[in-house]
């Protein structure tokens, strides 16, 4: 479905709420509508003014795209309703994936002086959001930072890491037996 809201504004707004919890994202979007917080414009920032509120995101440029926020709030309400229907805990939902794509441009005309006709295009978009229930924090790595730096250039699978760990233990046992 083509949403009649500007693609660039919606892209930046969605990027700002990516990886937030669902309830945090809704609160943030409501704050943007009330102009308490801004949306940092990082990619599509040509001609965007500077604001002090963008310091929160280590940036200088920002805006308050109210229409994009309202559309995203509507989609987030839908995500919340779907989660409740599937008996998921809404407080633990995290937005793990948000994608905003350009939709087909709408075409209208504007009539200018001396009989000229120019295009009057719109830039609608598609929004896709995936939320996941986060139950516990991720496990910490078994390797130390120094070991990670040694292995960094290579693609390592879990099996290789386990083999590496086992081979270390074997070499340590051999050294102990030699003594």
Closest CA to 12 of 52, 51, 64: 64
Write down the mean pLDDT value for the chain. 87
Q: What pLDDT is stored for residue 170 in this prediction?
A: 58
pLDDT digits (tens, 9 = 90+) for 30-59: 999 999 999 999 999 999 999 999 999 999
Q: If you average pLDDT over residues 93-97, what whole number do you get? A: 96
pLDDT grade for 16, boundaries at 50, 70 and 90: very high
pLDDT grade for 153, boundaries at 50, 70 and 90: low
Q: If you average pLDDT over residues 78-84, what whole number do you get? A: 95
Please give the structure tokens belonging to residue 163. Answer: 């083999």
Q: Give residue limits of the domains in the chain.
A: 7-133, 145-178
Q: What are the Cα distances from residue 18, in Å, to 92, 94, 96, 177?
A: 15, 9, 7, 54
Dist CA 93 CA 111 (whole Å): 49
Dist CA 40 CA 78 (whole Å): 25
Q: Is the pLDDT of residue 102 over 80?
A: yes
pLDDT digits (tens, 9 = 90+) for 159-176: 566 666 655 555 555 555
Kindly report the CATH number that applies to the domain delimited by 7-133. 3.90.470.10
């Amino acid at each position: 479905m083509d949403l009649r809201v500007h693609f660039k504004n919606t892209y930046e707004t969605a990027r700002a709420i990516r990886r937030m919890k669902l309830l945090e994202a809704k609160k943030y979007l409501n704050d943007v509508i009330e102009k308490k917080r801004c949306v940092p414009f990082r990619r599509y920032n040509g001609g965007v003014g500077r604001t002090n509120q963008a310091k929160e995101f280590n940036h200088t440029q920002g805006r308050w795209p109210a229409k994009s926020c309202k559309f995203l709030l509507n989609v987030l309400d839908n995500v919340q309703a779907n989660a409740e229907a599937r008996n998921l805990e809404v407080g633990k939902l995290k937005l793990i994936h948000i994608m905003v794509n350009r939709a087909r441009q709408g075409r209208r005309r504007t009539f200018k002086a001396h009989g000229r006709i120019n295009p009057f295009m719109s830039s609608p978009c598609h929004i896709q959001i995936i939320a996941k229930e986060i139950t516990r924090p991720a496990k910490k790595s078994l390797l130390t930072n120094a070991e990670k730096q040694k292995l960094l250039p290579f693609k390592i699978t879990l099996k290789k890491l386990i083999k590496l760990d086992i081979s270390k233990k074997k070499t340590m046992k051999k050294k102990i037996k030699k003594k």
